[in-house]
A and B are shown apart, each in its own frame.
Chain A
Amino acid sequence: MSATLPSKNAVRPIEAVNDFVIKFANINGSGSASANELFAKAILRMGVPVSPRNIFPSNIQGMPTWYEARVTEAGHLGRRGGTDMMVAMNPQTWDADLAEIEPGGYLFYDSTRPRPASAFRSDITVIGMPLTEICNAVYSDPRQRQLFKNIMYVGALSVLLDMDPKVIETLLGEQYRGKEKLIAPNVQALHLGRDFASEHLQHPLPIKVRRADSVGEHIFVDGNTASGLGAVYGGATVCAWYPITPSTSVAEAFVKYCEKYRVDEQGHHNYAIVQAEDELASIGMVVGAGWNGARAFTATSGPGISLMTEFIGLAYFAEIPVTIVNVQRGGPSTGMPTRTQQADIISCAYASHGDTKHVLLLPEDPRECFEHTAAALDLADRLQTPVFVMTDLDIGMNQRLCKPFAWDERRDYDRGKVMTAEDLEHKDFGRYKDVDGDGIPWRTLPGTHPTRGSYFTRGTTRDPYARYSERGDDYIYNVQRLLHKFATAATLVPQPIPRPAARRTRLGVIFYGSTSPAMHEALDVLARHGIHIDALRLRAFPFPGSVKEFIDAHELVFVVEQNRDAQMRTLLINELEINPAKLEKVLHYDGTPITARFITRTITNRVHEAFVAPQEAKS
């Protein structure tokens, strides 16, 4: 069964070395995820960057799932858009999968059940392999048939794409360390696939992988693992959470690393993790622990944030450190829990009733998930307020190649302004009094001093000394001080990172979070096409002064984000009083991660409309 190459009038097959997109169409629960990950890691081990993304259903077994791996020696880790090779293992999605292949691309499928020629396209290369037939002949156990079929297609692909089998064998050895008896059958399945492909399929294909040295010291990790680890390094001791996709693995990573690094000599835990009954309780526990001086965090997603908002408002007004990792997904409620969006920007920035504003950190990749989660714990203590780490499903649940985690051994935790028993002997204590001019008051922890420093914690009905008051003057003093504190926050949060264009330009672009890699690639492509744009990657809200300066310095600023309503643009307009006409929306919100092609196309069209096209073409 050899490869059917396109007929004479068809498109030329795509030729590419270390630069293509391969997509696996599978059925979830079939064990394909680990085989696909093995495939991606093997390419990484060959020194070629790869950027995989799971596009999966909210289901345990039987529904379609895809794994898209972008092989990119140039290191473009965002989604490109389009598929060069489809590994079609799911009959349910056959038609759509087939249609998605780029002209000149490749289709690999299980040919056990013959398909009529009309089932294929004439402009692609079709490669059939009777995977089920081979598996059924070799294995009798149904589960083995399923699992080894996955490894077998990895073997066949390794021949077609000219990958090094030794690398895959090494990875299997690492994967099954401690369960050594599983290594041999996996290696056997791998070679069954390789042998068939070597013998029956035309190889290697015009798209292939070649050893390179472009991975270096980079690590391959998902953002949720990184956030959980960041919470361990940042000194969180209390984690209260409620399971919700796509944030669950943040708490699970925290558990895993705590079990390894946070057990004292007596075997006791230097941490407490509670799976709460709901998000109303998980945030309540975090608020209680923060009030009592422990570093505490929760991880959730949009629907959880909605349930937490009353407490978030109380924490804002009562000035209690709280850290919330929000792994954003498509809303509402059951919504699109396995799809990605940046659609909680407004709901988090202004969470709760009354005049509230909150600190948001905007990590671009797992490395920043680690750093921002650790930083959030410091900022929450310093500012005595809720701090959100706004990641999303794309960063949170996909493994991403990024710079290794780093920790400065000299770094200590910033526990903020907490008065000790000694301080209370000598200093005046006004819980809600601005004594340092930064809007941040001093606080005390319960149990500190026998006669001084206790106070009754309330939302707003109190004076600077925490005495009950419903006076308007006291209220205004307090909420104005909170605004002043928010201005202080702008100087403490991670500052935005500019990427100036190669040439002087009137155009700017603002972006943040998981949009980052696709944006950087788009900027490269746009520059090659003569469109030069200065870029600014936001890393936090409140916006530091440099954000306003950036917007003022440009005639038109694109704001690229992954939600329908241009939420960051709204926040910029609202907070910095920007003329809305100046901020041009570039929005991607279908639930899949934004692609470089989408950004390039959208910005190119807008630039042509605005600066090139004749006036009448605009109508």
Chain B
Amino acid sequence: MKNESVGFIRAGRRQRRRRWIFVTGSLAALSFILCCAMLLLGNTIYPVMDVIRALSGEQVQGASFAVNTIRLPRMLAGLFAGFAFGIAGNTFQTMLRNPLANPNVIGITSGSSVAAVFCIVILHTSGAVVSIASVIAGLATVILIYVLSRGKSFSIGRLILIGIGIQAMLDALVSYLLLIGAEQDLPAAFRWLTGSLNGSQMDELPPLVLSVFIFAPIIIVLGKHLSILELGEQSATSLGVNTDKTRVLLIFSSVCMISIATATTGPIAFVAFLSGPIAKRLVGAGFSNVIPAGLVGANLVLAADLIGQFAFVARYPVGIITGILGAPYLIFLLIRMNRKGEL
């Protein structure tokens, strides 16, 4: 009898593990396909061999410039930024136990945007300064929202409402900075208001790549604690998780990742919001959905950028596409949460 039930539990666990491996594998494969598509497609479609030769450093007439200078940075920016947005968004959503509590809705990405616009458009700096400034701004936004929403008693609803207010102010600030920076040209405006991969350059990428390689592993390792935190404060403490330390470390890592990603591509709308719930639905309960969420984020950004570039007569920046996809999902989620009385 006892053996039977243990076997039953083990079987269930094996099944879930198989599902997790299958889902993660498929998502990774999809990312790879989308990355290849980003390199192959464009105004001119070069033969596959030419693209590979261009990537390996040979000089190929035309293809070298298009692939190495335009398409490769664009692909890498989309891949890494999407991964960062996905993981960081999922961390916030899981930790605060509410899919609405994510950096897109409560204004953290807007905070990083303000700092990045200020550094790039007004001070004309680049590289590490921009990354550091946007990380500081992102952390400051988080702290501000937390302090303001603490009040007499903490409530997640209050935090979300205050976040929406802060976001409105920060977005106004971005518009103002774009105006006085005399960078009224549309590419810059799109990049900082909705997020865009246009004009990504190779030398902007190192901070983004570095931050993903440093902070993503931290979040993945802490992912086990994350799913325990989701059970609530008391259960987590009694299961031996140092809740405060874990939480601070998780928030710090997520904000660093998302701020640097925002400084590179702009706040690509709704990716941080969408990735977590999609990954959760794919993976199911019981297994950490940190890595799947990151992969979903990367796939979303790459796919939306491809759609924006090639599906319509006009070229749309990636943020417009993710906005059109993401906002209806937000409405759908609200309808479901309202019906269940979760808000």
Tell whether A pairs with B.
no
* Residue ranges of A at the interface with B (Cβ–Cβ < 8 Å): none
